Amino acid sequence: MIPQYFRLFRWHVLRYLAQHPLLAILNVATVALGVALYLAIQIANHSANRAFAASIDVVAGKAQLEVLAPAGTLPDEIFPVVAHAQGVSAATPVVRGLVTLPAFPGEYLDLLGIDILSNDAFRTFDLTDFKAGEFDLQKWLRGPRTIAVSEELAAAHHLRAGDEVEAQINGQTVRLTIGFLLRTRGTSASANPHFAAMDIGWAQELLGRQRTL
């Protein structure tokens, strides 16, 4: 049976390929391109899913429940209500916004404003300075535009403590001071390197989100 099938293959397939070599090459190239495109899409989807999961981990932290508003913001008066609700053992407010960096084309900051005093139970990242690896609470609270950036972003653009970067927020240009490094830990080790953090009060002012979460 096998020799018979081979003769049929040779007669119908190889003979056709010999008569139309260019078309045969195009067919093979098309199939190869299709396979490569499929693999590229699968790899991109996998990377995007991992990045999304890591981003959720950084923003939500160890929280078991999030309170969100359909309109995107909540009045900050709701926080004490949530914090004192029955069954809630810990709560923390956050604000989030995007900041572009004109000096570094294509770069941006996914800025997270946190309450450092209530956020420790939820945080999946560490905040440290550039040298001693410690955290200066007074420096964190004192600086109106002091931010923590990821180690990856700082290394990519050679940023150091005290450096200022130009940022655009809601159509306005401001200058932010690099004060701390943001080191993710645990399951968020592969988090978005564009994540940055600052004190929630200063973040509300910077993002034009006064009295909202």
Express each pLDDT in 155-200 by its tens digit.
999 999 999 999 999 889 999 999 999 887 654 445 678 989 999 9
Q: Tell me: the pLDDT tens digits for 9-34? A: 566 666 666 666 777 677 777 877 77
DSSP 3-state of 178: strand
Compute the average pLDDT of residues 127-145.
84
Considering the chain, what is the average pLDDT of its residues? Answer: 79
> What type of residue is 68?
L
Which stretch of 52-66, 111-125, 127-141, 162-176 has the lowest confidence by average pLDDT? 52-66
pLDDT tops 80 at residue 63: no
Nearest partner of 197 among 84, 120, 86, judged by Cα: 120
**Hunting for tokens 């309170």 — which residue is that?**
67
pLDDT tops 60 at residue 133: yes
- pLDDT for position 45: 56
- pLDDT for position 36: 73
For residue 161, the tally of other CB atoms under 10 A from its CB is: 15
CA pair distance 180, 128, nearest whole angstrom: 6
* pTM of the predicted model as reported, rounded to 2 decimal places: 0.69
- pLDDT for position 188: 47
DSSP 3-state of 154: helix
Which stretch of 35-39, 124-128, 188-192 has the lowest confidence by average pLDDT? 188-192
Q: What is the CA radius of gyration of the chain?
A: 26
Among 1-5, 140-144, 195-199, the range with the most confident prediction by mean pLDDT is 195-199
- pLDDT for position 160: 92
| Position with higher pLDDT, 106 vs 37 | 106
Name the pairing type of β-strands 172-184 and 195-199: unpaired
DSSP 3-state of 174: strand
Band of residue 6 on the pLDDT scale cut at 50, 70, 90: low
- pLDDT for position 102: 93
